[in-house]
Amino acid sequence: QSALTQPASVSGSPGQSITISCTRTSSDVGNYHYVSWYQQHPGKAPKLMIYDVSNRPSGVSNRFSGSKSGNTASLTISGLQAEDEADYYCSSYTSTTPRVFGTGTKVTVL
Amino acid sequence: EVQLVESGGGLVQPGRSLRLSCAASGFTFDDYAMHWVRQVPGKGPEWVSGISWNSGYIGYADSVQGRFTISRDNAKSSLYLQMNSLRAEDTAFYYCAKDISSSPGGDFDYWGQGTLVTVSS
């Protein structure tokens, strides 16, 4: 059972904003400042979209933003586009391993 | 352009061994920590192992501790994963991933295309 819980699916229409949550369910996830988000299209490797809660790597669209409140981190996609349809995983540092991944969220663009 | 190219996957019987390799290019390999991450199709990724830039830190997931060994050759810009005593539950795509820093903090900014390991009799 993952220490990070995400909704199984989130959907939105083109141009809308959606938010994906990632809730810490285990005390093993001690320092929740190190939350990152990955996008994965079918048959492709994951792509880093956000690190350290809210930082975007070079080349990632500013339509993607991250935040955190208490035990829940969030990824917001603004101006939803067809190319944003993918699986999204949050990830966090734990006391025993550098990273644990969330349960994953399938984003559908209607 | 950063490139990570894995090789060495394939079909192997339970209990046997396999060695994965990852050839890196397009960045200064010995400036960064490196990792192996695996993923069963349809499931989320699972961190397997990580190694710091100078091999001073090495870590493993509990599920592979004692069976897998990570190593790197900075002169060859290559990362390796020796997998022994393989089990059916080790079946997955294995990705080589570059850390964003020299110590394995666990943010992976570049990934390879993955190599499939299938453990079955």
So what's the pLDDT on residue A43?
Answer: 92
Averaged pLDDT, B33-55: 94
Residue from the list A47, A52, A97 with its beta carbon closest to the beta carbon of B61: A97
So what's the pLDDT on residue A86?
Answer: 97
Averaged pLDDT, A89-93: 91
With vertex at residue A81, the alpha carbon angle to CA A61 and CA B111, rounded to the nearest 5 degrees, is 50
Residue from the list B44, B45, B105 with its beta carbon closest to the beta carbon of A98: B105
Q: Do B106 and A104 touch (CB under 8 A)?
A: no
Q: B112 in contact with A at a CB cutoff of 8 Å?
A: yes
Say which residue, A47 or B104, is predicted with more confidence. Answer: A47
Averaged pLDDT, B22-50: 95
So what's the pLDDT on residue B101?
Answer: 84
So what's the pLDDT on residue A70?
Answer: 82
Residue A60 pLDDT exceeds 90: yes
| CB distance A66 to A74 below 8 Å | yes
Name the burial class of residue A26, with classes exposed (0-12), middle (13-18) and buried (19+) by CB atoms within 10 angstroms of its CB: middle
Per-window interface: A 37-66 vs B, CB < 8 A: 38, 45-48, 51-52, 57
Q: A103 in contact with B at a CB cutoff of 8 Å?
A: yes
Averaged pLDDT, A33-42: 91
DSSP B34-97: EEEEEE-TTS-EEEEEEE-TTSS-EEE-TTTTTTEEEEEEGGGTEEEEEE-S--GGG-EEEEEE
What percentage of residues in chain B have a pLDDT greater than 70? Answer: 100
The 3-state DSSP class for residue A28 equals coil
Averaged pLDDT, A53-73: 92
Q: Do A45 and B95 touch (CB under 8 A)?
A: yes
Q: What mean pLDDT, rounded, does chain A reach?
A: 90
Q: Do A89 and B45 touch (CB under 8 A)?
A: yes
Confidence of residue B117 (pLDDT cuts 50, 70, 90): very high
Averaged pLDDT, B88-113: 91
Residue A32 pLDDT exceeds 70: no
Q: Do A52 and B95 touch (CB under 8 A)?
A: no
Confidence of residue B78 (pLDDT cuts 50, 70, 90): very high
So what's the pLDDT on residue A71?
Answer: 84
So what's the pLDDT on residue A29?
Answer: 59
Residue A93 pLDDT exceeds 80: yes
Residue A30 pLDDT exceeds 60: no
Residue A98 pLDDT exceeds 80: no
